[in-house]
Chains A and B, each alone.
Chain A
Amino acid sequence: MRTMSKRVTRRELAAALGAAAGMLGDAEAQETRPESDEAVAQRGLKRSHDALQAFKLPVETEPAFVFKA
């Protein structure tokens, strides 16, 4: 099996650790701060929108109600 080696500079290491620490902080904050009701509602609408869009709808399909004069 071939292995790859790359020398990491101290500056790169510090940047990587900083980014990881930042991500960890974000994740902790997300865990402790529950999503707002407004955000949940918006996310629900978006999810429904996406699911409806993903469905291939034949162009000739009429809605499931009929107007009668």
Chain B
Amino acid sequence: MAHVPDDVYFAPVSELSERLKKREFSSLELTRAFCDRLEKLGPRYNALALTLREQAVRQADQADDDLKRERYRSPLLGVPYAVKDLLAVAKHPTTWGARPYVAQVFPEDAEVVKRLKKAGAILIGKLGMVELAGGGGYNTPAASLQGPGLNPWDRSRWAGGSSSGSGSAVAAGLAPFALGSETSGSILTPSAFCGVTGLRPTYGLVSRVGAMALSWTLDKIGPMGRSAEDCARVLQVISGGDSDDPGSAGKRFYYVPQFAPKLNELKVAYAPGDFAEWADPATRGAFEQALNVVKGLGVKLVESKLPDFPYGAAVGTIVNAEGASAFEDLIRSGQVDQLADKRQVAGLKASLELPAVDYLRAMRIRRLIQQALRKMFYDVDVILTPARNNVAPKANEPLDRSLAVGTGSAGAGAAPSGGPPPVQGFRQMIAAGNLAGIPALSLPCGLVDGLPVALSVAGPAFSENTLVALGVAFQTQTDWHRRRPPA
């Protein structure tokens, strides 16, 4: 049996694929090595929900057969990965991170899992998450079946939510890539806090069949990996129309770097105040340096800001209304009381009484937000912001003390107590981007006191190739995405 060297745990997908083709090691050896690591270290970060070693070994055997015969189904052939426990894996528990669903088993794989299986990727496990993806407005990192998602860079810090396990597993080298989901911030936040690259796709680009529904008009599934290029390779496999998903756009993403726009033709909007004033003082130096790297890429930076809208209130109301409807039976049966976070229980119960006119008003305002952002993208190609304005908060502190956590998401940009903040720069970009259904990419851009910070780039609907091109260029000039947390 060939030795699997330690450097594979932090290698990008493209490198693993090449080394598998060269028979440096087999998919079975690689899979076993990652299963060992996930099972051994996953619990250290409360990241492991379920190991899938047995089926992974069977799939890896098939992948090796294909590799031997040079039947290269995709660049992911033989490469292990893991998924947030919000996605169904046939005949195995799918808990949605929540006690009331510990015994829930679905007969079929989620569509994204089916597509990755067809591409030859090897599913090694399911990952911890914030219960019900935080639908009721959670207030503690411990709002999860596994306990608080811990950050591999510092285990006293939170991994972010709600795709906590996906962020920490990729950061700690427990899986080459993972799938997460975002309703409003749940891919970008853990990606930023854990120092991995995360891609939130355009709404409707990736099928959600077999995924937990929190908010039908906001939910997206996307990759979290080692680089922008890795995320693009994964997105190419999981994207595509699905007639069983009413939100499907019927479109597919093809990673075509050769057709990406030239960087010197890109107009990038940003607000200097986001980097120099809004960002936590400790992080400003890192953001300033990152901004200089972006400037050095030859793009044209233009100062701009989001138009004035009540972004936080709109996204919060939509998540509350749709989430209360999705979990109405859970709430009315009283089983909701089994959730770990009592703030979330109270939020879900209160949302049952949310007036329909409030929901519709939020959805009408959302229409205007969508139009306003579409108009903004007539003039600029990309919007650049800090992904989060701070490093990961302490894992044992209430989030209303350490973060302004909006209802239904980590960092929806909702108002902290004391009323809605004025819209300044792009500070509410997570809420705005999710309301408009546009894609965004989180790029690690520095370390502050040993903790990652990240930039976020967002573009118009279906502009993933542009975002990835900018991400690849940034990651060619920097090595933050290659940094490893302390052993």
Q: Which residues does A use to contact B, with CB under 8 Å?
A: 36-38, 40-45, 47-49, 51-55, 57-58, 61-65
Q: List the A residue with the shortest CB-CB distance to B368.
A: A61
Q: How far is the CA of A56 from the CA of B3 in the complex (A)?
A: 65
* Residue from the list A41, A42, A51, A65 in contact with B313, Cβ < 8 A: A51
Whether A65 pairs with B358 at a CB distance below 8 angstroms is no
| A contact residues around B358 at 8 Å (CB) | 48-49, 52
Chosen A-B contacts, 13 in total, with CB atoms closer than 8 Å, are: A38-B346, A43-B417, A48-B310, A48-B312, A48-B317, A49-B313, A51-B312, A51-B415, A52-B317, A52-B362, A55-B309, A61-B365, A64-B435
| B contact residues around A53 at 8 Å (CB) | 361
| A contact residues around B361 at 8 Å (CB) | 52-53, 57
Is residue B420 contacting chain A, with contact meaning CB distance below 8 A? yes
For chains A and B in complex, what number of residue pairs have CB atoms within 8 angstroms?
94
Whether B364 pairs with A62 at a CB distance below 8 angstroms is yes
Whether B314 pairs with A52 at a CB distance below 8 angstroms is yes
Whether A52 pairs with B367 at a CB distance below 8 angstroms is no
Q: Which of B296-332 contact A (CB under 8 A)?
A: 309-310, 312-314, 316-317, 320
CB contact under 8 A between A52 and B313, given known A41-B346, A41-B347, A64-B367: yes
- With both chains docked as a complex, state the minimum distance between the C-beta of B229 and any C-beta of chain A, in angstroms: 33
Is residue B53 contacting chain A, with contact meaning CB distance below 8 A? no
Is residue B424 contacting chain A, with contact meaning CB distance below 8 A? no
| A contact residues around B363 at 8 Å (CB) | 63-65
* Residue from the list A37, A38, A64 in contact with B217, Cβ < 8 A: A64
How many residues on chain B are close to A (CB under 8 Å)?
A: 40
Whether A47 pairs with B415 at a CB distance below 8 angstroms is yes
Whether A41 pairs with B349 at a CB distance below 8 angstroms is yes
CB contact under 8 A between A44 and B316, given known A49-B358, A64-B370: yes
* Residue from the list B345, B354, B435 in contact with A45, Cβ < 8 A: B354
Q: List the B residue with the shortest CB-CB distance to A44.
A: B407
* Residue from the list B313, B350, B366 in contact with A64, Cβ < 8 A: B366
Q: How far is the CA of A41 from the CA of B137 in the complex (A)?
A: 8
Q: Which of B347-361 contact A (CB under 8 A)?
A: 347, 349-351, 354-355, 358, 360-361
Q: List the A residue with the shortest CB-CB distance to B318.
A: A64
Q: How far is the CA of A61 from the CA of B309 in the complex (A)?
A: 14
* Residue from the list B346, B354, B419 in contact with A40, Cβ < 8 A: B346
| B contact residues around A58 at 8 Å (CB) | 368
| A contact residues around B320 at 8 Å (CB) | 45, 48
Q: List the A residue with the shortest CB-CB distance to B342.
A: A37
6 smallest A-B Cβ distances: which pairs? A51-B313, A63-B363, A37-B346, A41-B350, A48-B313, A64-B366
Is residue B343 contacting chain A, with contact meaning CB distance below 8 A? yes
Whether B364 pairs with A45 at a CB distance below 8 angstroms is no
